Structure 1
Amino acid sequence: MINKSKKASLLLAATILGTTAGSFLVAPSAHAAIESNVVKNDINWDMPSAPAAPSDVNARAGSEQVVLTWAPIDNAKSYDVRRYNVVNNTYDSVKANETTVLTTGVTDAVYMDTSVTNGQIYGYVVNAVYGDGQVSQMSMPVIATPMELSGNVKDSIVLQYKSGTTAGTNSSVIQPTFNIMNTSGTPVNLSDIRVRYYFNGGKELTAKNFSAGNISFGSRNIEPNFVSLEKTYKQADSYLELLFNAEAGIIRAGDETGPMTFTIQKNQSGTSQDNDYSYNNSSELTEWNKVAVYYQGDLVWGTEPDLNN
């Protein structure tokens, strides 16, 4: 019987992840074949009487490794981990695909897969096994792309910007378009990137004041956060921070996201964007350093406003 608590398992995972770099759950942009002993899925997905699947399954990719963690299940004897061919990150895709049993008899809620190749996209599911032989349903799938880390990534992210609204116009609408470029030789996880656009009139805005246009990797994979600055400054009282979830995928080496257009609907009208810190009246995509880009928490492109003035 597994008697390790969730805290203990998470501590074990943290120990492993301490030697691991990367980000959670990178979504595929293409089919990735897995060369190993493929077996048919031998678990009945549609058996409601089967015990519940492990929850909170996460995958963290590093260089030539993927670390999986999940919430421990009381009374489970062990866990099985399966890897599958990535088509899309949906439950049905795993049902329709063949899966590879990587390992059985895992007694902690953590597993490291070191049989991976950098740049390939891997999917994983986990199930629990009980002492009486009962097998749980499979977990929801998670996906990850291991990749070699490069020190020059932080020097190789570039943001282009244009505005969809006219300078000097008193409007309640802000409409920036961004294009994030990866000029390095290493793929970049979008989930490691955050973008901040500084402006006035953003206090008390919520996600309902935000919308996204047609984006190549899906607008549902972008999370907007409006943050009010503690003090109101001449060029900004707030910023919009854009976060990308795992399914946004990667920016391949030498590639770009493509144009991403966003609309901010302010609660007040009659204000000009001319004095907004991040605003530029360019109607063509151009490099613009007053939109800040962060990679793994570090500022790697642009400048923040001087909030002391």
Structure 2
Amino acid sequence: MLTLNGTAGNAQAVLTWTAATGAETYKVQRSVVGGAYADVATGLEVLNYTDASVVNGTAYSYRIAAVNASGQTLSNIVTLTPNVAQATTGTLEGQYRNGDSGASGNAVTPQFNLKNTGTQPIDLSTVKLRYYFTKDGTGDLTFWCDYAQIGSTNIEGKFVTLTPAKGTADTVLEISFKSGAGSLAAGAETGVI
């Protein structure tokens, strides 16, 4: 049985579905509620799709077509209304440790863990971590996340020069989370990042 699930985000709809027996490819079909369905993606060989061509505040209906030489089978319909993410209300506890205490290294390797100590889930895409430091030299800085329990591809980092400096720190690493990182349930932890 082909079952579709979806989550609305900020200007996007994230869709996942179960595999259909005999399906060769999948099509994502969308309609503005009450309108005709049109293909928004075809020839998919994966079980997920993010539709980033939607407008916040508009309700969309989605269905998946499992396609093979005999025709197609349709999934259930899911209706989603993308909206701007609301400000997170919750309590996060940040834990930090130095991942490399060697004096001769040329990398900053902070490791973080976030714990939701509140009673409501927190959408991680609304959270930013800031790591302040003093930059050595004039070379370019590169961000790389080699491991995250929630998936290193869900982590983004950028370096910002502080003008004026904040104490002795002249640079900040801003770490943020993509929508694929999901939500952090009450009492849950991200695990080491």
Measured against the shorter chain, the TM-score band is: 0.5 to 0.7
Evaluate the alpha carbon distance shift between residue 255 and residue 194 of structure 1 in structure 2; reply closer, same or farther with a 3 A threshold: same
Displacement after TM superposition at 1:158 (Å): 0.5
Please state if 1:173 is matched with 2:149. Answer: no
Structure 1 residues 49-99: Cα deviation after superposition (integer angstroms, max 9, x where no partner): xxxxxx742586xxxxxx458xxxxxxxxxx62157xxxxxxxxx758953
Q: Is the 8 A contact 1:68 1:112 kept in 2?
A: yes
Q: Is the 8 A contact 1:181 1:254 kept in 2?
A: yes
Q: Is the 8 A contact 2:123 2:182 kept in 1?
A: yes
Please state if 1:191 is matched with 2:167. Answer: no
Larger Rg: 1
Q: Is the 8 A contact 1:188 1:250 kept in 2?
A: yes
Q: Is the 8 A contact 1:162 1:178 kept in 2?
A: yes
1:224: which partner in 2? 157
Report the residue type matching 1:199 in the other structure: F
Displacement after TM superposition at 1:221 (Å): 1.5
Q: Is the 8 A contact 1:157 1:182 kept in 2?
A: yes
| Runs of 5+ unmatched residues, structure 1 | 1-21, 33-39, 47-54, 61-66, 70-79, 85-93, 104-110, 114-143, 261-309
Report the residue type matching 1:253 in the other structure: A
Q: Is the 8 A contact 1:160 1:180 kept in 2?
A: yes
Runs of 4+ residues over 4 Å off in structure 1: 25-28, 40-44, 94-98
Displacement after TM superposition at 1:212 (Å): 1.2
Distance in 2 between residues matched to 1:211 and 1:244, nearest whole Å: 14
Q: What are the within-5 Å matches in structure 2 for residues 112-261 of structure 1?
A: 112=81, 151=89, 153=90, 156-166=91-101, 169-201=103-135, 205-206=140-141, 209-232=142-165, 234-260=167-193
Evaluate the alpha carbon distance shift between residue 246 and residue 26 of structure 1 in structure 2; reply closer, same or farther with a 3 A threshold: farther
Distance in 2 between residues matched to 1:102 and 1:31, nearest whole Å: 11
Displacement after TM superposition at 1:211 (Å): 1.6
Report the residue type matching 2:112 in the other structure: F
Evaluate the alpha carbon distance shift between residue 213 and residue 102 of structure 1 in structure 2; reply closer, same or farther with a 3 A threshold: closer
Report the residue type matching 2:183 in the other structure: I
Bigger fraction of residues in strand: 2
| Runs of 5+ unmatched residues, structure 2 | 1-7, 19-26, 30-38, 44-50, 68-72
For this pair of structures, how many residues does the alignment match? 153
Q: Is the 8 A contact 1:160 1:178 kept in 2?
A: yes
Q: What are the within-5 Å matches in structure 2 for residues 70-109 of structure 1?
A: 81-82=61-62, 95=66, 99-101=75-77
Structure 1 residues 184-209: Cα deviation after superposition (integer angstroms, max 9, x where no partner): 12111110000000001166634xx2
2:21: which partner in 1? none
RMSD: 4.2
Distance in 2 between residues matched to 1:95 and 1:57, nearest whole Å: 22
Displacement after TM superposition at 1:172 (Å): 1.7
Structure 1 residues 123-161: Cα deviation after superposition (integer angstroms, max 9, x where no partner): xxxxxxxxxxxxxxxxxxxxx9x99x985x1xx101001
Q: Is the 8 A contact 1:182 1:253 kept in 2?
A: yes
1:122: which partner in 2? none
Q: Is the 8 A contact 1:23 1:191 kept in 2?
A: no
Q: What are the within-5 Å matches in structure 2 for residues 11-50 of structure 1?
A: 24=10, 45-46=42-43
Q: What percentage of residue pairs aligned between the two structures are identical?
A: 25
